[in-house]
Amino acid sequence: MKSFVFAIVMTFLFGVYNTGHAAAASSLDNLQALSKDTIDPKVQKDTTEFKFKNKKIRITEDEKGTDIHVTEKEEERDIDEEDWENDWDDDGPNFDFDLDESKGFDIHWAGFEIGLNNFMNGNFNMSLSEENDYMDLNTGKSWNVNLNLLEYDINLIGKRFGVGTGLGLEFNDYRFDNLLPVDKGPDGVIVDSTYAGGEYNVEKAKLTTTYITVPLLFEYQVNVGEDNNKFFLGAGIIGGLKIGSHTKVVYDRNGDEKKNKNRSDFYLSPFRYGYTVRAGYGFLKVFANYYDTPLFESGKGPQIHPFTVGFMLSF
């Protein structure tokens, strides 16, 4: 399962990389250098191979369909895959999201994270006041997705303790229980009561935000067992810069389903900081983020604080 999910994520990232690189390339040779794309003369398979850190990914297409294989650099090749060459050269793209993996110490930031969102008030209570209950969320449908693209780490003590930073993108969906979106009023955030009438059959209403994130993480890690998997425990601070926000309402009116988007800043805090804790072993990795900066600017909306709990897939 780990290899399958990793292959899907890496195939997507390779496509993005390949598109951007091709646009900037000045010749066909630059494009061909991105990957090894060949027809195997023995079995007539169209194969594409590329490398990512210590993994080799091979995509094979033939009349039976498409297969994706992921192997470790040190892993012995399958005896049935004689054509899988042990040629770890520079013919294909070699992604390295860790700019300075310090001699065996690799902090857990770069990767893909998915979790669930909700809010807390100033007393660390999830129960909002009656005045602010229009911000109550359907937590099971309020998703957080983080794509942490780059990391830089420094080994401080042996190979067990270090510090790191990086860069990421954070996407948040806040699905409202009352099926009414928020809007920007003259003095602060308000409820958009346009959809409260009986002619609107609202299916969902949500607020979506996008942030650029930069962390400062401290992490302890130690090898456990003989499989080279590490147990790690980390904590730190995350700063965020808002780069986008909108509401979306999906509703049925007179039998006609429609979707409305409203792009605005909604008095959302443009800068924010918060705290993160993360831990894991092997494939199981979890994280929790809490933002000390309120969701809305002071005096413009409820002083509520977003938090997220979820799972990680490290690159």
Tokens of 114: 């998915």
Give whichever of 73-77, 227-231, 237-241 has the largest mean pLDDT.
Answer: 237-241
For position 123, what pLDDT does the model report? 85
> CB under 8 Å to 58, separation ≥6 — which residues?
47, 48, 49, 68, 69, 70, 71, 84
For position 197, what pLDDT does the model report? 74
% of the chain exceeding 90 in pLDDT: 50
For position 229, what pLDDT does the model report? 78
For position 93, what pLDDT does the model report? 45
For position 180, what pLDDT does the model report? 94
Report, as an integer, the average pLDDT of 48-67.
59
pLDDT at 31 exceeding the cut of 80: no
> Could you give the CA distance from residue 70 to residue 56 in angstroms, rounded to a whole number?
6
pLDDT at 302 exceeding the cut of 80: yes
What confidence tier does 286 reach under pLDDT thresholds 50, 70, 90?
very high
Per-chain mean pLDDT for the chain? 78
What confidence tier does 69 reach under pLDDT thresholds 50, 70, 90?
low
For position 262, what pLDDT does the model report? 95
DSSP code, position 60: E
What confidence tier does 97 reach under pLDDT thresholds 50, 70, 90?
low
Predicted TM-score (pTM) of this structure: 0.68
At position 138, the amino acid (one-letter code) is N
pLDDT at 21 exceeding the cut of 50: no
How many C-beta neighbours within 10 Å does residue 50 have?
23
Using the Cα atoms of residue 134, residue 265, residue 167 and residue 33 in order, give the sign of their dihedral.
Answer: positive
Report residue 222 CA to chain centroid gap.
25
Tokens of 172: 């948040």
> Could you give the CA distance from residue 180 to residue 248 in angstroms, rounded to a whole number?
10
**Greater pLDDT, 310 or 56:** 310
Backbone φ, ψ for residue 138 (5° rounding): -85, 90
* 275, 289 contact by CB (below 8 A): yes
pLDDT at 9 exceeding the cut of 80: no
DSSP code, position 33: T
At position 227, the amino acid (one-letter code) is D
Residue with tokens 């009561």: 193
pLDDT at 14 exceeding the cut of 80: no
> Could you give the CA distance from residue 165 to residue 185 in angstroms, rounded to a whole number?
38
What confidence tier does 103 reach under pLDDT thresholds 50, 70, 90?
low
132-176 pLDDT, tens per residue?
Answer: 999 999 999 999 999 999 999 998 998 899 999 999 999 999 999
Backbone φ, ψ for residue 179 (5° rounding): 60, 25
**Greater pLDDT, 121 or 31:** 121
> CB under 8 Å to 8, separation ≥6 — which residues?
68
172-208 pLDDT, tens per residue?
Answer: 999 999 999 999 999 999 999 888 877 889 999 999 9
Of all helices (H) and strands (E), which one includes residue 16?
Answer: helix 2-24
What confidence tier does 226 reach under pLDDT thresholds 50, 70, 90?
low
3-state class (DSSP) for residue 134: helix
> Could you give the CA distance from residue 214 to residue 165 in angstroms, rounded to a whole number?
7
* Alpha-carbon separation of residue 56 from 38, 52, 85, 90, 183 (angstroms): 16, 6, 11, 12, 48
What are the E-state strand segments in the chain?
36-40, 45-52, 55-62, 65-72, 94-95, 111-120, 143-157, 161-175, 182-184, 189-191, 201-223, 230-253, 256-263, 271-281, 284-291, 305-314
For position 7, what pLDDT does the model report? 43
Among 98-102, 154-158, 238-242, name the one with the lowest average pLDDT.
98-102
Report, as an integer, the average pLDDT of 206-228.
91
